[in-house]
Amino acid sequence: MYFDPVLMIALPLFAAFLIPLLGRVSKEIPKYVPVVMIGFNLYESIMMLPHSMVKPIIVIIAAWKPPLGINLTIGALGNVLALIISLVGFVVAIYNVRFVQKEPTEKYHMLYMLMVAGATGMVLTGDLFNLFVFLEITSISSYALTAFIRDRNGAEAAFKYLLIGSLSSTFVLLGIALIYGTTGTLNMADIAEKIQHVDSKITIVALILLVTGFGVESEMFPLNGWAPDAYSQAPTAIGAAFGGIVVKAGVYALARLIYTIFNFQGVFFFILIMGVITLLIAEMSAIRQKQLKRMLAFSSIGQMGLVLIALGLATVRGVEGGLFQMFNHAMIKPLLFLSAGYLVYYSGSKDISDLDGMGRKKPLLSFFFAFGAFAIMGLPPLSGFWSKFIIISETIRGGFVVVAALALFGSVIEAVYYLRVVGRLYFKQPNESEKTKYVHASAILAMSVLALVVLFAGLFPDMVMSYLKPAATELVDKTAYIKAVLTAGL
Amino acid sequence: METIPLILLILFGSALLSYVIGKINFVLKVGVALAGILVSGYYFLQLYGQAQSYTFRLLGFDIIWRINPLSWFFGMLIFGLGILVAIFSTSYMKNKERVDFYCFALCMTIASMFGIVVSGDLLSFFFFWEIMTWASFLMVIYYRYEAQAAGIKYFVMSMIGAYSMLIAILMVYAQLGTFSFDALASGWSDFSVSFQIALFVLFAIGFGVKAAVMPLHTWAPDAYGMSPAPFSALFSGVLSKMGIYGFALLMFVFGAGKLAGSVTTIHGVALPSYILAWFGALTALIATLIAVMQDDAKKLLAYSSVGQLGYIILGFSLNSSMGTTAALFHAVNHTIFKGMLFLSIGAVFYRTGTRKLSEMGGLISNMPYTFFVVLLGIITMAGIPPLSGFVGKWLIYEALLEKQMVLLAVVAFMASTAAFLYCYRLIFTIFLGQRPPRFDDVKEVPWTQRAPMLLLSLLTIYLGFYPYGLLNLIGQAESTVMGLVPMNLSQSILFNDLGHVSTIAVMNTVGTVFVIVFVLFNTLYKRSRKVGLKDIHTSGEVPGPEINLHYATDFYQPFSRSIRYVLERSADRLYGQFANNLEGFFDVLRYVYTGNAQTYALFVIMFLAMLLMFTNWLI
pLDDT digits 0-9 by tens, B348-397: 888 888 777 777 777 788 888 888 888 888 888 887 777 788 888 888 88
Q: Identify the closest residue of chain A to B604 by CA–CA distance.
A: A223
ipTM of the shown complex:
0.90
Q: Which residues of B touch A264 (CB under 8 A)?
A: 618-619
Q: Which residues of A touch B127 (CB under 8 A)?
A: 380-381, 385
pLDDT at B499 over 70: no
Determine the Cα–Cα distance for residues B150 and B133; give it in Å rounded to an integer: 14
Q: Using CB atoms and an 8 Å cut-off, which of residues 304-343 of chain A contact chain B?
A: none
In this structure, the number of other CB atoms found within 10 A of the CB of residue B326 comes to 29
Class of residue A26 by CB neighbours under 10 A (exposed 0-12, middle 13-18, buried 19+):
exposed
Q: Cis (ω within 30 of 0) for the bond into B215? A: yes
Best probe of the B interface among A299, A389, A403, by most B CBs < 10 A, is A389
pLDDT at B497 over 60: no
**Average pLDDT value over all residues in chain B:** 81
A460 touches B: beta carbon within 8 Å: no
Of A253, A8, A311, A262, the closest CA to residue A127 belongs to A253
pLDDT at B418 over 60: yes
Please give the helix or strand (H or E) that residue B64 lies within, else none: strand B61-66
Mark yes or no for CB contact A204/B595 under 8 Å: no
Amino acid symbol at A75: G
Determine the Cα–Cα distance for residues B68 and B84; give it in Å rounded to an integer: 24
pLDDT at B503 over 80: no
A208 touches B: beta carbon within 8 Å: yes
Class of residue A128 by CB neighbours under 10 A (exposed 0-12, middle 13-18, buried 19+):
buried
Amino acid symbol at B269: V
Successive 10-residue mean pLDDT values, chain A, 490 residues: 83 86 82 87 89 83 73 87 91 84 80 91 88 92 87 87 90 92 86 84 88 88 86 86 88 90 86 91 87 89 92 89 92 90 80 77 85 89 89 90 91 89 79 63 86 90 88 86 77
Contact B132, B116 (CB under 8 A): yes
- Quote the pLDDT of residue B542: 64
Beta-carbon contacts of B473 under 8 Å, excluding residues fewer than 6 positions away, are B69, B73
The CA-CA-CA angle for residues B566, B569, B575, to 5°, reads 145
Q: How confident is the model at residue B281 (pLDDT cuts 50, 70, 90)?
A: confident
| SS3 assignment, position A338 | helix
Mark yes or no for CB contact B152/A416 under 8 Å: yes
Of B243, B132, B126, B123, the closest CA to residue B183 belongs to B123
| SS3 assignment, position B119 | strand
- Quote the pLDDT of residue A119: 92
Contact B132, B239 (CB under 8 A): yes
Q: Which string of DSSP letters, residue by residue, matches B577-592?
A: HHHHHHHHHHHHHGGG
- Closest to A204 (Cβ–Cβ): which among B593, B608, B619? B619
**Residue B55 φ/ψ, nearest 5 degrees:** -125, 150
B56 touches A: beta carbon within 8 Å: no
Contact B206, B168 (CB under 8 A): yes
Best probe of the A interface among B62, B126, B163, by most A CBs < 10 A, is B163
Contact A303, A425 (CB under 8 A): no
Dihedral angle over CA of B521, B525, B526, B527, nearest 10: -170
- Closest to B617 (Cβ–Cβ): which among A164, A270, A287? A270
Contact A238, A111 (CB under 8 A): no
pLDDT digits 0-9 by tens, B597-616: 888 888 888 888 888 888 77
Dihedral angle over CA of A126, A132, A133, A138, nearest 10: 110
pLDDT digits 0-9 by tens, B335-347: 998 888 888 888 8
3-state helix, strand and coil shares in percent for chain A, rounded to the nearest 5: 80, 5, 20
pLDDT at B494 over 60: no
Contact B387, B376 (CB under 8 A): yes
- Quote the pLDDT of residue B529: 65
| SS3 assignment, position B495 | strand
- Quote the pLDDT of residue A327: 92
The CA-CA-CA angle for residues B227, B232, B234, to 5°, reads 130
Q: Cis (ω within 30 of 0) for the bond into A222? A: yes
Residue A173 Cα distances to A130, A204, A222, angstroms: 11, 15, 20
Q: Which residues of B touch A356 (CB under 8 A)?
A: none
**Residue A58 φ/ψ, nearest 5 degrees:** -105, 120
Q: Which residues of A touch B122 (CB under 8 A)?
A: none
Mark yes or no for CB contact B583/A287 under 8 Å: yes
Contact A336, A294 (CB under 8 A): no
Contact B403, B267 (CB under 8 A): yes
Q: Which residues of A touch B600 (CB under 8 A)?
A: 160, 163-164, 225-226
Name the DSSP class of B78: H
Long-range contacts of the stretch B33-38 (C-beta < 8 A, 24+): B33/B86, B33/B103, B33/B106, B33/B107, B34/B86, B34/B87, B34/B90, B36/B10, B36/B11, B36/B107, B37/B11, B37/B79, B37/B82, B37/B83, B37/B86, B37/B107, B37/B110, B38/B83, B38/B86
Determine the Cα–Cα distance for residues A160 and B601; give it in Å rounded to an integer: 9
Determine the Cα–Cα distance for residues A293 and A369; give it in Å rounded to an integer: 12
Mark yes or no for CB contact B618/A160 under 8 Å: no
Range B436-455 burial, b when 16+ CB lie within 10 A, else e: beebeebebbeeebbebbbb
Q: Using CB atoms and an 8 Å cut-off, which of residues 389-418 of chain A contact chain B?
A: 389-390, 392-393, 396-397, 399, 401, 404-405, 408-409, 411-413, 415-416
3-state secondary structure B241-294: HHHHHHHHHHHHHHCHHHHHHCCCEECCEEHHHHHHHHHHHHHHHHHHHHHHCC
Rg of chain B taking only CA atoms, in angstroms: 26
- Quote the pLDDT of residue B491: 47
Mark yes or no for CB contact B131/A380 under 8 Å: yes
Contact B333, B389 (CB under 8 A): yes
pLDDT at B493 over 60: no
pLDDT at B265 over 80: no
Averaged pLDDT for residues B255-276:
75
Return the beta strands (E) in A351-393 as ranges.
none
Do the bridges between strand B53-58 and strand A57-60 make them parallel or antiparallel, or are there none, so unpaired? unpaired
Please give the helix or strand (H or E) that residue B605 lies within, else none: helix B597-613
- Quote the pLDDT of residue B166: 92
Averaged pLDDT for residues B583-596:
82
Class of residue A165 by CB neighbours under 10 A (exposed 0-12, middle 13-18, buried 19+):
buried
Contact A350, A232 (CB under 8 A): yes
On the CB side of B459, CA atoms within 13 Å amount to 21
Q: Which string of DSSP letters, residue by residue, matches B538-598?
A: BTTB---TTS-----TTTTHHHHHHTHHHHH--HHHHHHHHHHHHHHHHHHHGGGS-S-HH
Beta-carbon contacts of A372 under 8 Å, excluding residues fewer than 6 positions away, are A332, A333, A335, A336, A339, A451, A454
On the CB side of A337, CA atoms within 13 Å amount to 32
- Quote the pLDDT of residue A429: 73
Mark yes or no for CB contact B611/A212 under 8 Å: yes
Q: Which residues of A touch B219 (CB under 8 A)?
A: none
**Residue A354 φ/ψ, nearest 5 degrees:** -95, 10
A151 touches B: beta carbon within 8 Å: no
Class of residue B13 by CB neighbours under 10 A (exposed 0-12, middle 13-18, buried 19+):
middle
Q: Using CB atoms and an 8 Å cut-off, which of residues 370-409 of chain B contact chain A?
A: none
- Quote the pLDDT of residue B87: 86
Contact B238, B169 (CB under 8 A): no
Return the beta strands (E) in B314-467 as ranges.
none
Determine the Cα–Cα distance for residues A430 and A432; give it in Å rounded to an integer: 6
Determine the Cα–Cα distance for residues A168 and A216; give it in Å rounded to an integer: 6
Residue A404 Cα distances to A284, A300, A389, B432, angstroms: 17, 19, 10, 56
Share of chain B above pLDDT 70, in %: 90
- Closest to A207 (Cβ–Cβ): which among B147, B597, B618? B618
- Quote the pLDDT of residue B283: 87
**Residue B265 φ/ψ, nearest 5 degrees:** -120, 150
Contact B242, B135 (CB under 8 A): no
pLDDT digits 0-9 by tens, B463-473: 877 777 788 78
Higher per-residue pLDDT: A323 or B99: A323
Determine the Cα–Cα distance for residues A335 and A316; give it in Å rounded to an integer: 29
